[in-house]
Amino acid sequence: MQIPDAEALCRELADQIRPHVTPDTALVGIRTGGLWLAERLHAELGLSTPLGAIDVSFYRDDYAAKGLHANPQRTDIPCKVEGAPIVLVDDVLYTGRTTRAALNELFDYGRPSRVELAVLVDRGGRELPVAARFCALTLSAPLAASQVLELERTADGTLSLRLTDA
Amino acid sequence: MRNPQLNKHGELQHLLTLDGLPREILIKILDIAAPFTEVAEREVKKLPLLRGKSIFNLFFENSTRTRTTFEIAAKRLSADVVNLNVSTSSTAKGESLLDTVDNLCAMQADMFVVRHASSGAPVLIAQHLQACGHDDIHVVNAGDGRHAHPTQGLLDMYTIRHCKGDFTRLSVAIVGDVLHSRVARSQIAALKTLGVPDLRVIGPKTLLPTAVEHMGVRVFHDMREGLRDVDVVMMLRLQNERMNGALLPTAQEYYKMWGLTAEKLALARPDAIVMHPGPMNRGVEIDSSVADGAQAVILKQVTYGIAVRMAVMSMLAGN
C-alpha cells in the first residue's frame, strides 16, 4: 500500500470541516495522534474556543482483560461541553472502540448539542456502529488486523503516517 | 521466594508495604495517579474502571480520613464499597480474622482494604487468599500496627514530586515519633527507593527506634540543627497515649523542643514545604501559624491521597 501524505490529508480534512464551523464549535482530540491532528486543525480553522484533549485509558473496554498497561495522561477539556457542538478528532478510525470510549468520557463533562467525528484515515474493520462525518481518506480495502497504521510527529511538527506489521 | 506483593508476572497483586517495592512500580503508581487528579474537577466525578467490583473496607482500627479517602476513591472508580464497622461485626463476637475474610470471599469480594492494629495482618490475609487459590482477590494495606502505611507513603511521595520534582536533589527531614510510626517507615522506604540523598530523622531518643541510622538516615536530636536547609519537613503525629508513658515529659515541653514553629521552620530552605499525615495536634507537634501557613501542603496531601488510592486500586484490579 502507498503510504498517504498526512500533511495533504490534514489540509483536506480542514477544508471538509471549515464550512460547518460555528462560533461555538469546539475541537477535542484523542491522545496522542488525534490530539496532534486536532492542534493542527484548531490552528488552521482559527477556532476561538480552547482545544480539548481526551485520554481514553480509563474508559477502555479491554481494561478487565489487559489492565492499565499504557501510560495514561490527563484528560483536559477546557472548552464548554454542555450544549456545545463538539468535533471529536482522531488520527485513524478502526474498530470504533476508541470512539465509543471517548464519547462516554466526553459525556461525563456535560451534554453536548452534537458530536461529530473527524478522522484522517478510515482503515475499515469496524466492530461498533461508528462512522466519521469528516474523513480525509477511506482505504479502498480494509487493513489486516496484524497491521498498525498510526500518525507520527517529528520534532519540527511535521505529521506523517506509518504502517507497520505487528 | 517471590515478593508477596507481586504476581507471577511481576505485577502488583497486593499493596502491603513500600519496603522492597520495585522502584519502577512505585514510579508507575505516581505516574498513573496524575491523570486521576483531574477527575475531581469534572461534572461527573466517576470513572467506569471498577464497575461491578466489590471492595470491602475492613477497618479493625479507627480511622476517619484514610477510610473516607479509600471509600471516595473506590466510588469514583464506580466500585461497590462496603464498610465493615468492626465494633458491630462478628469479630466482636469472637470470629477470627481469617474466618471474616473467608465469609467475605464467599460474598464475591474483589478487594480488601485492611487497617489493623497488629503489624502483619494484611500480609496474613494476602497469604491466606493465595493458599485458598483466590488469586483474583487483592489486598491493600491501609495501615498495620507499627509496620507500614503504604498509601500514605505514596501520597506523600506524590505531593513531594508535585511540589519539588526531582527526588535526587532533596534534603528531607522526618520529625517526631518515628518509633511508633508506620507512616515514617513507609516514608523512609519510599524516599530511599526514590534516591533522596539527604534523609534525616529528628526526634527525642526515646521516640526513635534503636539503630535507626541503619535505615540509611541521619539522626538529629536537635531540631534546629536537623531542619537546617531542608527542602521538605514531614511532621509526624504525636499520639496522645504516648504522653502517659515515661517516653516524654509534658506536651508543653515536647512542643518547646520538637514542635514546628515559624521560627524553627525559618531554618529550612525558604521554599521548603511542610507536610503532616493528620490528624494534627496543634500546639503539640505543630504550631497553628505553620499548619495554616503558606508553606503547608497538608490539605493537598489529602486531595492527592484520593488520586493515589484510585491509581493503586485500578492497577491492582487490572492485574
Q: Where are the domains of chain B?
A: 23-148+303-318, 150-301
Find out whether B182 is annotated in a ligand binding site: yes
Question: Has residue A57 been placed in a domain?
Answer: yes
Count of CB atoms situated within 10 Å of the CB of B188: 25
- DSSP 8-state code for residue B239: -
Residues A149 and A162: beta-carbon distance below 8 Å: yes
Q: Which of A55-69, B2-16, B231-245 has the lowest mean pLDDT?
A: B231-245
Q: Which residue of A has its CA nearest to B51?
A: A64
Residues B283 and B292: beta-carbon distance below 8 Å: no
Q: Give the residue-averaged pLDDT of B113-129.
A: 95
Q: Tens digits of per-residue pLDDT, B179-199?
A: 999 999 999 999 999 999 999
Question: Has residue A58 been placed in a domain?
Answer: yes
B318 touches A: beta carbon within 8 Å: yes
Q: Is B241 helix (H, G, I), strand (E, B) or coil?
A: helix
Q: Pseudo-torsion of CA A130, A132, A137, A138, nearest 10°?
A: 30
Q: From the list B35, B43, B317, which residue is nearest A72 (CB)?
A: B35
The DSSP H or E segment spanning B290 is: helix B288-291
Q: Which residue in A121, B242, A86, B217 sits closest to B250, CA to CA?
A: B242
Q: B23-148+303-318: CATH homologous superfamily?
A: Aspartate/ornithine carbamoyltransferase (3.40.50.1370)
Question: Has residue A1 been placed in a domain?
Answer: no
Q: From the list B34, B47, B314, which residue is nearest A74 (CB)?
A: B34
Find out whether B45 is annotated in a ligand binding site: no
Residues B214 and B245: beta-carbon distance below 8 Å: no
Q: Do domains B23-148+303-318 and B150-301 have the same CATH topology?
A: yes
Would you say residue B226 has pLDDT above 90? yes
Are B46 and A108 inside 8 Å of each other by CB?
Answer: yes
Q: For residue B40, what are the CA distances in angstroms to B32, B76, B160, B260?
A: 15, 9, 20, 32
Confidence of residue A148 (pLDDT cuts 50, 70, 90): very high
Are A55 and B319 inside 8 Å of each other by CB?
Answer: no
Confidence of residue B243 (pLDDT cuts 50, 70, 90): low
Question: What does the buried/exposed string (b/e) look like for B246-270 if buried means 16 or more CB atoms within 10 Å of the residue's CB?
Answer: eebeebeebbeebbbeeebbebbbe
Would you say residue B63 has pLDDT above 90? no
Confidence of residue B90 (pLDDT cuts 50, 70, 90): low
Q: Which residue in A93, A109, A85 sits closest to A25, CA to CA?
A: A85
Of all residues in chain B, what percent carry a pLDDT higher than 90?
83
Are B318 and A67 inside 8 Å of each other by CB?
Answer: yes
- DSSP 8-state code for residue B296: B
Q: Give the residue-averaged pLDDT of A54-80.
A: 89
Supply the CATH number for residue A141's domain. Answer: 3.40.50.2020
pLDDT of residue B89: 63
Q: Which of A53-57, B87-91, B140-144, B213-217 has the lowest mean pLDDT?
A: B87-91
Q: Give the residue-averaged pLDDT of A125-152.
A: 96
Would you say residue B143 has pLDDT above 90? yes
Q: Is A112 helix (H, G, I), strand (E, B) or coil?
A: coil
Find out whether B218 is annotated in a ligand binding site: no
- Chain centroid to Cα A164, Å, comes to 20
Query: How many structural domains comprise chain A?
Result: 1
Confidence of residue B310 (pLDDT cuts 50, 70, 90): very high
Look at strands A147-153 and A159-165 and give their pairing: antiparallel
Are A110 and B31 inside 8 Å of each other by CB?
Answer: no
To which residue does cell 474523513 refer?
A135
pLDDT of residue B88: 59
Question: What does the buried/exposed string (b/e) look like for B97-133 if buried means 16 or more CB atoms within 10 Å of the residue's CB?
Answer: bbebbeebbeeebbbbbbbbeeebbbbbbbebbbeee
Q: From the list A58, A107, A109, which residue is nearest B47 (CB)?
A: A58
Q: Which of A40-54, B90-104, B279-293 has the lowest mean pLDDT?
A: B90-104
Q: For residue A38, what are the CA distances in angstroms to A30, A43, A51, B93, B184?
A: 8, 9, 8, 62, 46
To which residue does cell 484514610 refer?
B66
Find out whether B279 is annotated in a ligand binding site: yes
Would you say residue B85 has pLDDT above 80? no
Question: Who's near A143: CB < 8 A, 6+ residues apart?
Answer: A1, A123, A124, A125, A149, A163
Q: Give the residue-averaged pLDDT of B269-286.
A: 96
Q: From the list B31, B44, B315, which residue is nearest A71 (CB)?
A: B31
Q: Which CATH number fits domain B150-301: 3.40.630.30, 2.40.50.140, 3.40.50.1370, 1.10.10.60?
A: 3.40.50.1370
**Domain extent for A133:** 6-165
- Probe site for chain A from B7, B42, B50, B313 (most A CB atoms < 10 A): B42
The residues of A whose Cβ lies within 8 A of any Cβ of B are 55, 57-59, 63-64, 66-69, 71-76, 81-82, 104, 107-110
Q: Tens digits of per-residue pLDDT, A43-59?
A: 999 999 999 999 999 99
Are B35 and A64 inside 8 Å of each other by CB?
Answer: no
Would you say residue A125 has pLDDT above 70? yes
Question: Has residue A116 been placed in a domain?
Answer: yes
- In the A/B pair of chains, how many CB contacts fall below 8 A? 48
Would you say residue A156 has pLDDT above 90? yes
Q: Is A73 helix (H, G, I), strand (E, B) or coil?
A: coil
Q: What single letter denotes the amino acid at residue B302?
A: V
Find out whether B152 is annotated in a ligand binding site: yes
Cβ-Cβ contacts under 8 Å, B31 against chain A: 71
Find out whether B300 is annotated in a ligand binding site: no
Contact map slice: B 14-53 vs A, CB within 8 A: 31-32, 34-35, 38, 42-44, 46-49
B99 touches A: beta carbon within 8 Å: no
Would you say residue A64 has pLDDT above 90? no
Return the C-alpha cell found at B302: 489529602
Q: What single letter denotes the amino acid at residue B237?
A: R
Confidence of residue B205 (pLDDT cuts 50, 70, 90): very high
How far is Cα A57 from Cα A68, in angstroms, rounded to an integer? 7
Cβ-Cβ contacts under 8 Å, A72 against chain B: 32, 35
- DSSP 8-state code for residue A66: H
Q: Give the residue-averaged pLDDT of B255-262.
A: 95
- Chain centroid to Cα B232, Å, comes to 17
How far is Cα B128 from Cα B49, in angstroms, rounded to an integer? 27
Are B44 and A68 inside 8 Å of each other by CB?
Answer: no
Q: Which of A114-118, B49-53, B81-85 has the lowest mean pLDDT?
A: B81-85
Would you say residue B86 has pLDDT above 80? no
Question: Does the interface ipTM go beyond 0.95?
Answer: no
pLDDT of residue B37: 94
Residues A42 and A102: beta-carbon distance below 8 Å: no
Q: Give the residue-averaged pLDDT of B86-105.
A: 81
How far is Cα A76 from Cα A71, in angstroms, rounded to an integer? 16
Q: Give the residue-averaged pLDDT of B141-154.
A: 96
Would you say residue B307 has pLDDT above 90? yes
Enumerate the β-bridge partners of residue B173.
Answer: B200, B233
Residues B276 and B298: beta-carbon distance below 8 Å: yes
Residues B202 and B178: beta-carbon distance below 8 Å: no
pLDDT of residue B54: 97
